[in-house]
């Protein structure tokens, strides 16, 4: 019988679930995890290795090839049939390997991005993976969290939850713990329940879990829909479309070769059929989608090691097109911790590193004593500004406890946002003192004296003018400035009521400090690298305009003389969307900006055709993260809502990590491009060679020769090209833009000329072997010529793999052999190719003869000739066309 938890009180629900406000104990958790399983929605199960293997034989071209092999076997061509079967089998093995590799990479990625929840177990609040939650767990919710399971609210404060995933209603719903007396209310009216995968937009709550995984409301919906997500990326769609177009062209050529061969009586119908089918199978790049998936998946793993967790595979490649990176300041460009940078005392401004600290200095005493932060085993706890004051002295080896013990606090006047100051009343050897810190201008209004080089004297107008001028200079450098003052108290004064009126007057000014949330040390270089890569970095912050400008200058986002590059949220509000669109290129810094302004900024840049990456960590950042081409969530400070709205999550909240991810994205695209150029140009060379051999009435390759060349020269090198290291100048190139594709930047034309070149060189070697034979009999001459052509086509493709390591760059560099997987792939391919000629037992199977040294010289010379010609073309391309390379 179904339990309606909304009709029961929180106490009744806890009893029903055998839980308590202290949460479950370890034994209960273990038992329930075994009973209920992981708290996840069932996803499409991976197929077994056997199922993957069988699926490889469902491809139409493979089926046709197997039928052809059976026909060959019945016709007596047993060796040909066996080789064809072997090639098909090896292709299937490679296909299984590729698919399993991609799945494993994606699974590892999902494990890294598993969300966490705060729960109370054994009376202790802890963070656990959401998939480990069980019924009876007590979960603590706050704004920004994704609800991890179906729960009954036990207590709440101003709780609002957005339940669009279940109800379609985008307006957040008010939630509380009150019992609902109505029977069977709609889900949208079950106000004391919260449901899995909904979003907390406001407030806090404690709730007890009553359903997990597929037993939740969203689990029931998933069961009803029973939809399968094939997760086909746009890239894979583009590659599949390209493959289909090429398939049609190749099939047409194969039919022409078959018809012409049969019509001219060159070969038997069976031989020509096998040749045409073999050519089609060898030339169609059916492995491209798998190579793309593997390259993307491996890219995600590389990024994860560098603290960029990719949630959506296409984002890896899209990063390579990024032209604008709009980043939050705090925690991403800066360290998100206040640090003392300058100290002003005795009318001298001294850097924090050069200032000589001492427990006897009055400035040090006030900084330590007018301070509410506490030391704990886990570190300092308190207001970030106050903890920074204590940390400054701890970092310099001062005994803070000595000062605090020598001046015990007896009372205090707490901070007030109106007067912008706080004071502590302390005792030292029977004398009471007031120690005050706060805004410089407020303190000066209450100051009558100044401590100058150990002497206390009346403060003058000139003193105040110099202090205020220094205060302004520090503020213009993006420093937060605090002033410090004190005075001695009489016994009567010290016993008065602790109010500002009673204490904070007739003060002695001691000095001031300038603090800053310092930039991350690696960010300035990352900003510079982004600019050299043609990417424009933008800074978005809630800070004042002057502070934002100073930080941006420090980081190199804007130049020091750039007075127009900063705009405030208020100025944005005064602009229409059209005005912002027209003027957006003027601004690199957005100060006093609210999260809702971010969507307008993104759309304004996108209206100019720019690819925009946007960072965010709050609930209100989610719309901007969704709107941006690349949403970048913060892994440390980010809410679950912002992370789920993002394409990429930064595990270290660091701007420099975004630039590393962009570099990886560019590398991934470049590697896919290299694999495409290599495969298509090699396949074009094969098609052209066989077509011209047929048209010229020459001997043509046997089906096993075509298939073997395709197997050994395509598979290993193409996969190895997918894991090439990024070229050194990859971040000196401009972003390729949203309209580019895999055939852009000269790749399409390179495929054509390089394919034609491979075909012509192969045909040239065949012609040379006929014209300048080593043997005398016609049969032997033609057998040698065909063997040399076969060897040449294979060697050309292996040499061409080195050409493909760079689209336009020269291979005559020390980076040519920097990929050990590529080197191994070439070596294995070369051995497999050479075996068919050097091992006599394979000669008859592959219809080849043994070649002498002079013939091998011609074959290897042909391979070098291809490299030389391509290098010459690349030289002119670099010099006159692709100068950014």
User: Looking at the annotation, which residues are catalytic?
Assistant: 328
User: Which residue reads 């070596």 in tokens?
Assistant: 827
Gap between the Cα atoms of 336 and 703, Å rounded:
66
In 3-state terms, what secondary structure has residue 854? helix
CA 82 to chain CA centroid, Å, is: 46
**Residues in the chain, how many?**
885
Residues 6 or more apart whose Cβ sits within 8 Å of residue 241:
none
Nearest to 428 by CA among 373, 482, 359: 359
Output the CA–CA distances (angstroms, integers) from residue 8 to 12, 140, 212, in the order listed: 6, 20, 19
Q: Name the pairing type of β-strands 507-516 and 447-452.
A: parallel
User: Which residue reads 């001298």 in tokens?
Assistant: 348
Residue burial 537-572, b: 16+ Cβ < 10 Å; e: rest = bbbbbbbebebbbbbbbbbbbbeeeeeebbbbbeeb
The tokens for 472 are 């302004």
Residues 6 or more apart whose Cβ sits within 8 Å of residue 148:
39, 115, 117, 130, 133, 139, 196, 209
Nearest to 562 by CA among 528, 540, 588: 588
CA 871 to chain CA centroid, Å, is: 35
DSSP 354-380: T----TT-HHHHHHHHS---EEETTEE
Gap between the Cα atoms of 535 and 196, Å rounded:
39
- Contact 418/365 with Cβ under 8 angstroms? no
User: Which residue reads 């009558």 in tokens?
Assistant: 448
The tokens for 594 are 């609210």
Gap between the Cα atoms of 346 and 616, Å rounded:
43
The tokens for 838 are 């050097």
């Amino acid at each position: 019988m179904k339990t309606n938890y909304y009709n029961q009180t929180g106490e009744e629900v806890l009893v029903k679930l055998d839980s308590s406000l202290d949460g479950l104990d370890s034994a209960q958790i273990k038992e329930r995890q075994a009973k209920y399983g992981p708290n996840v929605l069932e996803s499409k199960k991976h197929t077994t290795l056997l199922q993957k293997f069988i699926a490889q034989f469902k491809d139409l071209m493979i089926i046709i090839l197997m039928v052809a092999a059976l026909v060959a076997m019945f016709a007596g061509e047993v060796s040909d049939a066996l080789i064809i079967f072997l090639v098909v089998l090896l292709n299937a093995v490679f296909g299984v390997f590729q698919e399993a590799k991609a799945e494993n990479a994606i699974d590892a990625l999902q494990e890294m991005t598993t969300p966490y929840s705060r729960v109370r177990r054994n009376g202790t609040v802890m963070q656990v993976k959401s998939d480990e939650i069980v019924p009876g767990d007590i979960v603590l919710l706050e704004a920004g969290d994704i609800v991890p399971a179906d729960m009954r609210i036990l207590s709440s404060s101003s709780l609002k939850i957005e339940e669009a995933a279940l109800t379609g209603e985008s307006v957040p719903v008010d939630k509380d713990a009150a019992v609902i007396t109505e029977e069977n209310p709609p889900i949208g009216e079950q106000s004391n329940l919260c449901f899995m995968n909904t979003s907390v937009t406001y407030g806090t709550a404690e709730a007890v879990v009553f359903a997990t995984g597929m037993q939740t409301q969203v689990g029931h919906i998933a069961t009803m829909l029973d939809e399968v997500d094939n997760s086909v990326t746009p890239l894979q769609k583009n590659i599949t479309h390209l493959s289909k177009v090429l398939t049609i062209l190749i099939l047409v050529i194969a039919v022409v070769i078959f018809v012409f061969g049969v019509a001219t009586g060159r070969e038997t119908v069976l031989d020509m059929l096998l040749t045409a089918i073999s050519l089609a199978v060898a030339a169609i790049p059916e492995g491209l989608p798998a190579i793309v998936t593997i390259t993307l998946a491996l890219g995600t793993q590389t990024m994860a090691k560098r603290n960029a967790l990719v949630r959506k595979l296409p984002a890896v490649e899209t990063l390579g097109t990024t032209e604008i990176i709009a980043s939050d300041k705090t925690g991403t460009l800066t360290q998100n911790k206040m640090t003392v940078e300058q100290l002003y005392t005795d009318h001298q401004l001294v850097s924090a590193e050069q200032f000589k600290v001492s427990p006897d200095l009055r400035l040090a005493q006030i900084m330590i004593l007018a301070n509410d932060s506490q030391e704990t085993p886990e570190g300092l706890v308190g207001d970030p500004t106050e903890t920074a004051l204590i940390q400054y002295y701890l970092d310099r080896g001062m005994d803070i406890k000595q000062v605090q013990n020598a001046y015990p606090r007896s009372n205090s006047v707490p901070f007030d946002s109106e007067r912008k100051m706080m004071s502590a009343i302390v005792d030292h050897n029977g004398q009471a003192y007031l120690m005050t810190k706060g805004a410089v201008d407020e303190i000066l209004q209450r100051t009558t004296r100044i401590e100058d080089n150990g002497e206390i004297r009346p403060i003058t107008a000139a003193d105040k003018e110099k202090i205020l001028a220094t205060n302004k200079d520090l503020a213009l450098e993006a420093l937060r400035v605090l002033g410090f003052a004190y005075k001695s108290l009489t016994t009567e004064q010290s016993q008065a009521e602790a109010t500002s009126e009673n204490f904070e007057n007739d003060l002695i000014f001691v000095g001031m400090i300038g603090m800053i949330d310092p930039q991350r040390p690696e960010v300035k270089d990352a900003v510079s690298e982004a600019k050299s890569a043609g990417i424009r970095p933008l800074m978005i912050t809630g800070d004042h305009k002057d502070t934002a400008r100073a930080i941006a200058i420090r980081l190199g986002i804007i130049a020091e003389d750039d007075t127009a590059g900063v705009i405030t949220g208020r100025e944005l509000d005064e602009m229409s969307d059209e005005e912002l669109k027209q003027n957006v290129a003027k601004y690199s810094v957005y100060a006093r900006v609210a999260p809702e302004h971010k969507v307008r900024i993104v759309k304004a840049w996108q209206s100019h055709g720019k690819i925009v990456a946007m960072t965010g960590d709050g609930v209100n950042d989610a719309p901007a993260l969704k709107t941006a081409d690349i949403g970048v969530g913060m892994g440390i400070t980010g809410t679950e809502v912002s992370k789920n709205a993002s394409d990429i999550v930064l595990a270290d909240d660091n701007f420099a990590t975004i630039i590393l991810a962009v570099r990886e994205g560019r590398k991934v695209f470049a590697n896919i491009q290299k694999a495409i150029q290599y495969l298509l140009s090699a396949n074009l060379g094969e098609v052209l060679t066989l077509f011209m051999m047929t048209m010229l009435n020459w001997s043509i390759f046997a089906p096993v020769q075509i298939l073997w060349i395709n197997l050994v020269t395509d598979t290993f090198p193409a996969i190895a090209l997918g894991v090439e290291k990024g070229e050194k100048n990859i971040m000196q190139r401009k972003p390729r833009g949203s309209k580019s594709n895999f055939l852009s930047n000269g790749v399409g034309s390179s495929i054509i000329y390089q394919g034609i070149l491979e075909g012509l060189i192969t045909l040239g070697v065949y012609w040379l072997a006929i014209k300048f034979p080593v043997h005398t009999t016609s049969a032997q001459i033609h057998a040698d010529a065909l063997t040399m052509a076969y060897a040449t086509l294979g060697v050309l493709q292996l040499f061409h793999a080195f050409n493909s390591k760079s689209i336009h760059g020269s291979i005559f560099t020390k980076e040519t052999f920097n990929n050990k997987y590529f080197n191994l792939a070439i070596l294995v391919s070369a051995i497999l190719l050479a075996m068919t000629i050097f091992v006599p037992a394979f000669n008859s199977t592959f219809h080849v003869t043994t070649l002498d040294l002079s013939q091998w010289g011609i074959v290897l010379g042909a391979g070098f000739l291809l490299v030389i010609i391509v290098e010459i073309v690349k030289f002119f391309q670099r010099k006159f066309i692709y100068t950014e390379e």
